[in-house]
Structure 1
Amino acid sequence: MAIGEFGGAPALPEEGGPVLSNGMYWFYEMSYAALNPARAAADVARLYLKNPLNPWSHTTFGKTMAASAEMFERFTRRYGKPEWGINDTIVSGERVPVHITPVWERPFCRLLHFERVFRSPPRRPQPKLVIVAPMSGHYATLLRGTVEAFLPNHDVYITEWVDARLVPLAEGRFDLDDYIDYVISILHALGGDCHLVAVCQPAVPVLAAVARMEAEGDPYVPHSMTLMGGPIDTRINPTAVNKLAEDRGTDWFRRNVITKVPFPHPGVMRDVYPGFLQLNGFVSMNLDRHLDAHKQLFFNLVKGDGDSAQKHREFYDEYLAVMDLTAEFYLQTVDTVFVKHLLPKGEMMHRGVRIDPAAIRKTALLTIEGEKDDISGLGQTEAAHALCVNIPANRQAHYVQPGVGHYGVFNGSRFRSEIAPRIADFALSSQSVISKPRIVHAVS
């Protein structure tokens, strides 16, 4: 689990930054509740001052006050889970509706199916693609662009992880072993006739799940797995956040960032790494950039640049929406992946059984990295090939996308034009008998 910003995984508190006492989450809730009247008043003021029938709305003073009211409301708001907003897609030149329905569910996760409603069967094969979203503080909607890129040519599913503060304590624990169990259960539910795509943090549990299945002769193994910007071996080109995790050790995180969910949330008294503390880590990594962005929003609101202001709102509505993670999942992942490097050492266990990537023989493997990734260093994902020694060479491929960082590995124009087509080609070719060796892509 690369510990990073916006799409990587849970952020670490900055060196010397705030840590969490047992009562801070409760204090945070009380502060949020205390600001409710002021937040409501600011929203009323904004609506009043932006009403075109109000003469003040056409003055610089009125626009400045309206902008200030909106900024206050946004700074003190709690951002909920964003909507997917995917209603249709283009398949073979035809626009088809998309219905989003849950097809599998457990206390901490739902599997969503983006069902496309066809008038006639598409001409091109439509492989079943399961995107395993990172359980990293942000919601699965972060991968909205990833889903949209695959919809024209794939039958798409995605894991939607549940905010831990919404899961009652009676539902039990959720740790890295449970995560692996969930992946295996999803593959069983889909009958195994699918392809897995793990975005960042899930790379380790997905590889572990497939290894367990292959070792046991499970008939529901996927045709292929694609690991994108994942921390398979963080000893290779360690980033600043990798080093920070290793230097501090697991006990530091247990003492300083874990607390209990307060009342009135359904998960009251559950031990979690809270979303608001993760958000502090996300923002502090690039504080100057975020301050400049909000300063620009204020100026755009005052001068009436609605398009630029709306783009800011859309980005930060997603960025500031965070979820709590269960303490056991977070701590076990930090310990296994970043502190002890158990998977590449051959020492990772699942339910008392050692994970052996060499057991993987049937599932094809594609790894993808970003040339400028500062969350999962170059080579950390590619390390999976050295572990999966029994996958035939013509069913393995590695690709480094030039000019992109961590976020660009799974979203943006480079992803749509250069990465997604490679994944689609790999899925199609790995589903059938391959008669010639695959070309291993490299930086061009």
Structure 2
Amino acid sequence: MPIGEFGRPPALPSEVSPALTTPMYWMHEMARASLNPARMLTDATKVLFQNPFNPLTHTDFGKQVAAGCEVFERTTRRYGKPEWGLDDTEVNGVRTPVVIRTVWEKPFCRLLYFDRDHPRPLKHPQPRVLIVAPMSGHYATLLRGTVEAFLPTHEVYITDWTDARMVPIAEGRFDLDDYVDYIIEMLHELGGNMHVIAVCQPSVPVLAAVSVMEADADPFVPVSMTLMGGPIDTRRNPTAVNNLAAEKGIDWFRSHVITKVPFPHPGLMRDVYPGFLQLNGFISMNLDRHMDAHKDLFNHLVQGDGDLADKHRDFYDEYLAVMDLTAEYYLQTVDTVFIKHSLPKGEMTHHGKLVDPSKIHNVALMTVEGENDDISGIGQTEATHALCTSIPDDRRVHYVQKGVGHYGVFNGSRFRSAIVPRINDFMHNATESKRVAAE
């Protein structure tokens, strides 16, 4: 799905004037810069009132001043790209260091490999899996829990999409066709014998990429593809999120949310859908909840409850770290997936050539949905099976996880305990089926 909170299309303030969209980004940057002196002052004040040699540090007044300074600093900072924080994992009962390496790179994406430094060679090679992260406003680190769940039993790769404001305009455009090209190039780079998992929004370009590869008899098609909570056919059980694009129309999005990257970012003058506007949109959907969370942070800091304060920091360090998306990718995705429904109608094209999922016959298919998903409604991902008519029934699986929403499809306790084992079994069966067919 295109684009917004945890993979959702954004809730956008309809009162934003088209004439104000471009200068708004520049004004936003000026406002952020103007707050730097105040942030420096509050940082210094916080250090002063947390100094154990300051008598006021241990008073209610001192604790409130320090807490207030931290809340101000956190609500006015620009949140950078979060760290993965996956330094080790357990492989066959042995704690194993993990080193993250870049194995392929283009202007708008890096392919990361989580290299497990085994203390001794594995008796049997483990499946290789490419996780395609959403290019939907948050960084790939949103799938930290997804990667962590597969690391003990898989060789894991993941797409690490680049913030569009950091890409110089001289590097050219990036649209949905380019997204599909990137996936195909990555599969070529990895050299075959791969399993692909698309989480949310990339279900559409992954399905398109595999369709194109199969139509071209590409030898590097993956062994299997798993599509999780993806908007393959948003006409099925449309949610409020799905209806947003249909109600507004593509011209509204083009005139209201597209702007140019301001100085001093490397992507100066690139047309983008800006991260700060996305953030404003999906915070406004639950403004009271976010205000209460920051009030709670203040109280936890005053009371000295470090564990709850750390949980708040961890969540918002990820939640408030957003990236810009190229205008052409954003608009093409909204138009293709949510307005025209091109893929399920058999009208989606890739560089002018029709995308035909019925050409897929070598790749096993699994779809996963959440029972309470309010972003991709029940049936939207399952619709893939009706499109991939050439995949044998014994090489396709559909699974609905009870009691989880959109985020729970790829993260959390039920994902680890119920969904991951099923994906593991599916991959194993797909590999065995391919081996038998080859013999």
TM-score, L = length of structure 2 = 0.97
CA–CA distance in structure 2, aligned partners of residues 329 and 285 of structure 1: 24
The secondary structure found in structure 2 opposite 1:67 is helix
The Cα shift of 1:230 comes to 0.3
Offset of residue 316 of structure 1: 0.2
1:422 is paired with a residue whose SS is helix
CA drift at 1:4: 4.5
Unaligned runs of 5+ in 1: 437-444
Q: Is the 8 A contact 1:164 1:267 kept in 2?
A: yes
How far 1:197 moved relative to its partner? Answer: 0.3
* Residue pair 1:9, 1:137 contacting (<8 A) in 2 also: no
1:339 maps to which residue? 339
| Residue 278 (str. 1) matches residue 278 (str. 2) | yes
Equivalence map 1:19-30=2 (5 Å): 21-30=21-30
CA offsets 1:19-65 (integer angstroms, 9 cap, x no match): 75210000001001100000110111111111111111111111111
Matched with 1:85 is 85
Q: 2:349 — aligned with what?
A: 349
CA contact (8 A) 2:245 2:338 kept: yes
Is 1:139–2:131 an aligned residue pair?
no
Q: 1:85-138: CA deviations, max 9, x gaps?
A: 111100010011111000000000000000111122224541000000000000
Please give the secondary structure, in 2, of the residue aligned with 1:64: helix
Matched, 1:54 2:36: no
Paired AA for residue 12 in structure 1: A
Aligned to 1:370: 370
Does the CA contact (< 8 Å) of 1:109 and 1:162 recur in 2? yes
Which ranges of 4 or more aligned residues in structure 1 deviate by more than 6 Å?
none
Residues 251-262 of structure 1 aligned to structure 2 (within 5 Å): 251-262=251-262
Count of residue correspondences? 435
Separation of aligned partners in 2, 1:400 and 1:64? 47
After TM superposition, give the deviation of residue 424 of structure 1 in Å: 1.2
Name the aligned partner's letter for residue 317 of structure 1. D
Please say if 1:413 is aligned against 2:413: yes
d(CA) in 2 for partners of 1:250, 1:204: 19
Q: Distance in 2 between matches of 1:66 and 1:290?
A: 20
CA distance in 2, matches of 1:17, 1:67: 34
Aligned twin of 1:442: none
The residue type paired with residue 223 of structure 1 is: V
Whether the aligned pair in 2 keeps the contact of 1:236 and 1:379 (CA below 8 Å) is: yes
Give the equivalent residue in structure 1 for 2:186.
186
Q: Which digits, 9 at most, give the CA deviation of each residue in 1:376-429, with x for residues without a partner?
A: 111100000000011000000000010000000000111111111111111111
C-alpha deviation, 1:9, in angstroms? 3.8
Output the amino acid matched with 2:178: D
- CA shift, 1:357, in A, is 0.4
Instruction: Tell whether 2:7 aligns with 1:12.
Output: no
Structural mapping, 1:319-330, within 5 Å:
319-330=319-330
Distance in 1 between residues matched to 2:104 and 2:9, nearest whole Å: 25
What CA distance in whole angstroms lies between the structure 2 residues aligned with 1:216 and 1:435? Answer: 22
**In structure 2, the residue corresponding to 1:394 is in which secondary structure?**
helix
Amino acid at match of 2:167: V
1:219 equivalent in alignment to 2:219: yes
Give % identity: 68
Query: 1:97–1:18: structure 2 CA closer, same or farther, 3 Å change rule?
Result: farther
TM-score normalised by length of structure 1: 0.96
Q: CA RMSD in A?
A: 1.4
**Bigger mean CA offset, 384-393 vs 7-16:** 7-16
Shift in Å, 1:221: 0.1
- Shift of residue 17, structure 1, vs aligned partner: 6.3
Q: Is there any run of 5+ residues in structure 2 with no aligned partner, and where?
A: none
Q: 1:2, 1:375 within 8 Å by CA — same for their partners in 2?
A: no
| 1:435, distance to aligned residue in structure 2 (A) | 11
In structure 1, the partner of 2:388 is 388
Letter of the 1:261 partner, please give it.
V
1:198-277 pair list within 5 angstroms: 198-277=198-277
In structure 2, the residue matched to 1:156 is: 156
**Match of residue 298 from structure 2:** 298
The answer to whether the 8 Å contact 1:9/1:134 transfers is no
Matched, 1:127 2:133: no
SS at match of 1:307: helix
Deviation, structure 1 residue 255:
0.1
- Describe how 1:72-111 pairs up with structure 2 within 5 A: 72-111=72-111
Query: Once the two structures are superposed, what CA deviation does each residue of 1:221-266 show, in whole Å capped at 9, x if it has no partner?
Result: 0000000000000000000011111110111000000000001100
Deviation at 1:288, TM superposition (A): 1.9
Distance 1:183 1:81 in 2: 22
Describe the SS at the equivalent of 1:281.
Answer: helix
The Cα shift of 1:193 comes to 1.2
1:309-351 residue CA offsets vs partner (Å, 9 max, x unmatched): 0110011000000000000000000000000000000000001
Secondary structure, aligned partner of 2:102: strand
Residues 265, 14 of structure 1: alpha-carbon distance in 2 compared, 3 angstrom cutoff: same
Contact 2:223-2:434 within 8 A present in 1 as well: no
Distance in 2 between residues matched to 1:377 and 1:146, nearest whole Å:
21
Quick one: distance in 2 between partners of 1:435 and 1:211?
A: 22
Is contact 2:191–2:220 with CA below 8 Å preserved after alignment? yes
Distance 2:327 2:179 in 1: 13
Report the AA paired with residue 386 of structure 2.
A
DSSP 3-state at the match of 2:21: coil
1:439 corresponds in structure 2 to: none
Worse-matched range after superposition: 201-210 or 11-20: 11-20
Query: Residue 227 of structure 2 contacts residue 368 of structure 2 at CA under 8 Å; is this kept in 1?
Result: yes
